[in-house]
A and B are shown apart, each in its own frame.
Chain A
Amino acid sequence: MDANTIYLAIFLYFVVGSIIARLARRKLGSGVNDFFLAGRTLGGIVSALTYSATTYSAFMLVGLAGFTYIGGVGALGFELIYLSGLVLVAFFGPRLWLVGKRYNYLTPTEMLGDRYQSKAVAIVAAIAAVIFLIPYSAVQLIGIGALVEGLSGGAIPFLIGVVIAAAIAVYWTWTGGLRAVAWTDSLQAAVMLTVAILSVIFIAYNGFGGFGNMFTQLEERYPAWLTVPGPGFFNIHAFVGLTLPWFFFSLSNPQVSQRLFMPRSLNQMRIMVMGFLIFGFIYTLVSILWGFSARLLLPDLEVADAATPALLGLDIVPASVALLVMLGISAAAISTVNSIILTLSSMVTRDVFKNLRDNTSENRELLVGRIFVPIFTIFILAFATLRLDLIAALSVASSAGLLVMVPALIGAFFWKRGTAAAVLASIIIGGTVATVLQYSGFFPLGLWPGVWSGLISTVLFIGVSLLTRPPEQKAEEFLGYLQEELNTKKII
């Protein structure tokens, strides 16, 4: 594809997004709550779209399609079990929302620090999130760089693609904080879904004469791809190792769990949850069908992640649609990166800066948070351009690494006996184990890092809690308030 056409498409996309970001800025009030949480006043539909765009990254149409290409239907199970992880929001969503409003929490890690009465808990949890989410974000930018380079036949160098994506992400975030991120995410989610549906229809009808024929061909030519373990990639260890950490994504990833503070009412949160589920279900199916199509049409690819760019290069997809898909994938990546940047900035200012300095004014806190928006962007950009093996390992380890937050989060709402020492032990040791196992490739007993980090952090959280003294007064007050509210509102 011609480089100028790609540049023009990206430019137009940037202009439209920037207009939306500037409009969002007009509604921006003062204070950290407004900048990072849109003042806890988001409507349900915008909440659903920003939740979707933040959750679903470039992984879907590239990585998940690739998983389907090499591993078959197991990829569908992996992603739909992950989607079913929203059952956790049925229990934790209203609880986080209620305590967020009562105690004015800005971040989920601030909630942990307060609930366990330990500044160290908030600081360590925030630092762990930075360690795992920066490489994860860098991989998103690497994805855009590679995609644009591939589509343009090398005319747009990798570095240029990465820099453009980072510039767009930082500009929109800086302009209007969460409001701008949420509004541009809404645009991006709409583009992601529309383009994905449109393209899969083109592929199915132009490539196979319809969806029925596509499945018939699949059953005839690649029957193993409709079973697990099937071709072998999704053996039970790999399936559990990949799926288990992602099941807890809605709790473990702060850029997502922070979104549970934002809807203006529980009714709007309901719209957010249901909207996301419908979005996720459709987007998952499209990504899987994409992978199956690549398996049938391009059986000899050496690299699974090449399935998407290769499909786009076929003449069954009109060039205009291919261009839109490129924008859709870039949108998926940018909307994930800008949300992570904003969440990490809020964590640094609230959980680290404010905890280390007494008597910080809100203006100063906001200033520090805003300054970290470009700082994190530069970090992510630097990591993306280095393309180190460690970045890929940390990115893969992110789901296993962030899983170590889950026992502390569950304990905060359901176990009075949990202690700060236990949270610190579970996060530090669990996170280290996840990283070492992922980087070394050593999977004891065949179990993947996510299974080990989940087990170790749970055992440590329970064991150390039983040996140390809990913050009894806070636990009574926190859980007592919740109990009363949940009973009044009849929420399970």
Chain B
Amino acid sequence: MSLKQQRIFWTILFLLMIMAAFIVPFTPLFRDLSRVYGAFLFWNIFALVVIICLGIITAKWRNFNGR
């Protein structure tokens, strides 16, 4: 993937994930799921996926020490 394509890919992916984090727990399925594996688990998984994605993106920074 070219840099431009990567930028578009990550931007769309993050937009979708963040919109999901706003919307999914308010949908009827989750609204009535008063269990730990409902919204609580969903938001935790969301955060962990974001952290992993950022790990992948920032891994490319490691080669440049700016000296």
Residues of A within 8 A of B32 (CB): 227
Check if A277 is an interface residue, CB within 8 A of chain B: yes
**Considering only CB atoms and an 8 Å cut-off, how many residues of chain B contact the other chain?**
43
Q: How long is the Cα–Cα vector from A219 to B6 in the complex, in angstroms?
A: 42
Task: Please encode chain A, from 266 to 282, with 1 for each CB lying within 8 Å of some chain B CB and 0 for all others.
Answer: 11011001100110010
| Chain B residue at smallest Cβ distance from A240 | B22
Residues of B within 8 A of A239 (CB): 22, 26
Check if A229 is an interface residue, CB within 8 A of chain B: yes
Are the C-beta atoms of B55 and A274 separated by less than 8 Å?
yes
Residues of A within 8 A of B7 (CB): 91, 492
Q: Which of A423-457 contact B (CB under 8 A)?
A: none
Residues of B within 8 A of A491 (CB): 3, 60-61
Q: How long is the Cα–Cα vector from A491 to B10 in the complex, in angstroms?
A: 12
Which of A74, A81, A265 touches B18 (beta carbons < 8 Å)?
Answer: A81
The residue among B32, B38, B64, B65 with the most chain A CB atoms within 10 A of its own CB is: B64
Q: Which of B48-67 contact A (CB under 8 A)?
A: 48, 50-51, 53-55, 57-67
Q: How large is the interface on A (under 10, 10 to 19, 20 to 34, 35 or more residues)?
A: 35 or more
Check if A226 is an interface residue, CB within 8 A of chain B: yes
Q: Which of A65-116 contact B (CB under 8 A)?
A: 73-74, 76-77, 80-81, 83-84, 86-87, 90-91, 94, 97, 101
Which of A215, A243, A281 touches B36 (beta carbons < 8 Å)?
Answer: A215
| Chain A residue at smallest Cβ distance from B52 | A277
State the Cβ distance, B19 to closest chain A Cβ, in Å. Answer: 10
Check if A490 is an interface residue, CB within 8 A of chain B: yes
Main secondary structure of the interface of A (DSSP, over half): helix
Q: Which of B2-47 contact A (CB under 8 A)?
A: 3, 6-7, 10-11, 14, 17-18, 21-22, 25-26, 30-36, 38-40, 43-44, 46-47
Residues of A within 8 A of B65 (CB): 264-267
Residues of B within 8 A of A77 (CB): 21, 25, 39, 43
| Chain B residue at smallest Cβ distance from A212 | B36
Given contacts A73-B39, A215-B36, A267-B64, is CB(A84)–CB(B17) below 8 Å?
A: yes
State the Cβ distance, A258 to closest chain B Cβ, in Å. Answer: 18
Which of A219, A226, A266 touches B64 (beta carbons < 8 Å)?
Answer: A266
Apart from A228-B31, A277-B54: 6 A-B pairs, beta carbons within 8 A: A91-B11, A97-B66, A226-B39, A227-B25, A270-B59, A492-B10
A-B contact pairs, 16 of them (CB 8 A): A90-B57, A101-B66, A219-B35, A223-B34, A227-B38, A229-B31, A236-B26, A239-B22, A264-B65, A264-B66, A265-B67, A266-B62, A267-B61, A274-B58, A277-B50, A281-B51
